[in-house]
Amino acid sequence: MCALSHDFQHASFMAKVLETYKELTTVCGSSLEYESSKSNNSVAENSSQLINDDCDELTLEEERDKVLLEHKVERAFYEAGKALKELRDRRLYRASYKTFEEYAIHRFGYNRRQPYRLIEAADVVDTIIKMCPNGTQILPTNERQVRELTKLEPDIRGICWEQAVKANGGKVPSGRLVKDIVERIMEKERVPNPYSKGEVCQIIAKDNPDLKGKAGCWCLVKDVYEFSCTVIAWDGEYTLRVDHLKSLNYLDTECNAMQLLHKRISTIRSYGELEHAAIVALKQLGQIGRHYLTELEEIFLSAMERKYNSPTVYDLEELRSHQHYVNPSTNNI
């Protein structure tokens, strides 16, 4: 009878705990991610304390093993990023796959972007570790927490992480909290968009995998926004941040020449199915670092225009008559 009463009291107590937890969840449901995370951690700590009252204490050896294993779990994304970087850089996938992306998709089930996120996250963690090499700092425990830090320059990433840790009371911050601090830092450092419509720029890929194969390509600025531009490259349109562009400082006549070249390339591409050799040739034209064509390049381009029935066929002598198409030192187109 006494045992039954004890079980009833215990069940009533746990019901009240559950009811209180539901009320807390309802009240905090619309809070920011890091506030919700703090509340959940508090509930989890209380629950853990209740459980530990009925459990055996760990030995010193078990406590040491627990810390080591937890550390491995927390560093799993970091170790994955370091391993993926080595697999990519040494091309250890080449025996079975042509590209790193294809390898990562089929071997690990990643989407196209995920392996690069892990690699970038590992680089960020390395930066944070270098700031405090004695190992006493709070380190990230998942990739999402440092994803936004990749938008910052390396020398600022560690400072931003420290601010996020401090803002979270000395504990590992959530991805939302880190994002908020990154946005505040970027807002202070942003400068007005220096580019103008019709300007010719060079694409700077940096560490952006979405710009793979576009590094060094010239492009025309189509639309200008506060901190980005929509540009037209040889193979299509892209919206890029201003730090992914570099002005080629062409004169107006030289910009007109590049606009004419882009029109000719686009007209050929609109044909549809192109031979591989034609695509390679157009890509080369999309990477030239000058505002004119050599005579051989003009011959190739004119030949492709005839091959694909392009209405934009230019006479070689006529092009020579345009000053902005002439290389003044070699008299080449």
The domain segmentation of the chain, as residue ranges, is 64-189, 200-247, 252-325
The predicted structure's pLDDT at residue 290? 92
Q: Place 17 in a pLDDT band, splitting at 50, 70 and 90.
A: very low
pLDDT in tens, 270-312: 887 888 999 999 999 999 989 999 999 999 999 999 888 765 5
Q: Place 74 in a pLDDT band, splitting at 50, 70 and 90.
A: low
Q: Place 183 in a pLDDT band, splitting at 50, 70 and 90.
A: confident
Which residue in this structure is represented by tokens 């294809």? 102
pLDDT in tens, 230-274: 999 998 888 888 888 999 999 999 999 999 999 999 999 888 788
Q: What is 200-247's CATH topology?
A: SH3 type barrels. (2.30.30)
Mean pLDDT of all residues in 18-36: 42
Mean pLDDT of all residues in 132-140: 69
Q: Place 133 in a pLDDT band, splitting at 50, 70 and 90.
A: low
Mean pLDDT over the full length of the chain? 78
Mean pLDDT of all residues in 67-90: 84
Would you say the pTM of this structure is higher than 0.75?
no
Residues above pLDDT 90, as percent of the chain: 35
CA distances from 4 to 1, 9, 10, 50 (A): 5, 9, 10, 21
- Span of 56-60, 155-159, 188-192, 305-309 with lowest mean pLDDT: 188-192
Higher pLDDT, 32 or 293: 293
Higher pLDDT, 39 or 196: 196
Mean pLDDT of all residues in 216-234: 90
Q: Is the pLDDT of residue 13 over 50?
A: no
Structure-token pair, residue 108: 């690990």
Q: Is the pLDDT of residue 80 over 60?
A: yes
Interior/surface letters 267-293, b for 16+ CB within 10 angstroms, e for the rest: bbbeeeebeeebeebbeebbbbeebbb
